[in-house]
């Protein structure tokens, strides 16, 4: 529900970059209240392990109408509000040892996901998405337009490993080309013009160059 979504050009239809988990079908526990609290809801989707949780199904036993209560991770990269992970902090945020993240693959994903004119959509999106407000949705839609058609799995893996938002390029030292830098500088200024503090002002990254 917090994954970024983009218009498709077809009225009423959007395309969302949603994470997908594989696992056994699960349904809610018996005799439980519908409201879980903390803005959580029951899901029939597989709930991957993410810390301590309660379950009515013993380990290894077949699921017979009960399931693990959903336990969200500490934060979700690129998600809005309090559930979102923090932005990159220079000198502090880093990939943990043995994260398995391939930084060359991360940078390749940024380089290959292009908008017209050779603009790297992942970088323009990162420069605006995680600081957006309700008054710049059109701007973010423009910045992130090509992502729905691209493979960004290694980018997502990096952000999940480091628990940060819009940060994979900083983690791996990925560089923007000239036209992307120009576009980022324009997007950042447009956010400032509507009263939004862009990531560039917060941590000095993804500022672009005029």
What DSSP character marks residue 136? Answer: G
Task: Give me the residue spans of the domains in the chain.
Answer: 24-48+62-72, 76-203
Distance between CA 104 and CA 203 in Å, rounded? Answer: 23
Biggest CA-to-CA distance, the chain: 60
Least confident of 14-28, 45-59, 191-205: 45-59
pLDDT, tens only, 143-173: 998 888 899 999 999 999 999 999 999 999 9
Coil, strand or helix: which one is 188? helix
d(CA 75, CA 86): 8
Question: Model confidence over 89-139: pLDDT tens digits?
Answer: 999 999 999 999 999 999 999 999 999 999 999 999 999 999 988 777 788
Residue 164's contacts (CB-CB under 8 Å, 6 or more residues apart) are 77, 85, 86, 87, 88, 89, 93, 171
Q: Which helix (H) or strand (E) holds 16?
A: strand 14-16
Confidence of residue 44 (pLDDT cuts 50, 70, 90): low
pTM recorded for the entire structure: 0.66
């Amino acid at each position: 529900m917090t994954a970024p979504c983009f218009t498709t050009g077809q009225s009423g239809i959007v395309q969302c970059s949603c994470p997908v988990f594989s696992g056994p079908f699960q349904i809610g526990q018996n005799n439980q209240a519908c409201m879980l609290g903390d803005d959580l809801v029951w899901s029939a989707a597989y709930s991957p392990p993410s810390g301590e949780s309660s379950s009515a199904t013993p380990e290894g036993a077949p699921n017979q109408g009960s399931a693990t209560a959903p336990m969200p991770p500490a934060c979700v990269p690129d998600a809005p509000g309090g559930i979102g992970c923090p932005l990159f902090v220079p000198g502090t945020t880093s990939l943990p040892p043995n994260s398995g993240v391939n930084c060359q693959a991360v940078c390749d994903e940024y380089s290959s996901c292009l908008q017209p004119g050779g603009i790297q959509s992942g970088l323009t999106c990162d420069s605006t998405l995680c600081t957006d407000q309700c008054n710049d949705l059109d701007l973010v839609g423009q910045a992130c337009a090509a992502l729905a058609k691209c493979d960004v799995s290694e980018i997502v893996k990096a952000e999940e490993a480091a628990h940060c938002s819009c940060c994979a390029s900083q983690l791996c030292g990925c560089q923007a080309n000239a036209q992307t830098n120009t576009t980022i500088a324009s997007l950042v200024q447009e956010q400032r013009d509507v009263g939004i503090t862009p990531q560039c002002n917060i941590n000095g990254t993804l500022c672009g160059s005029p």
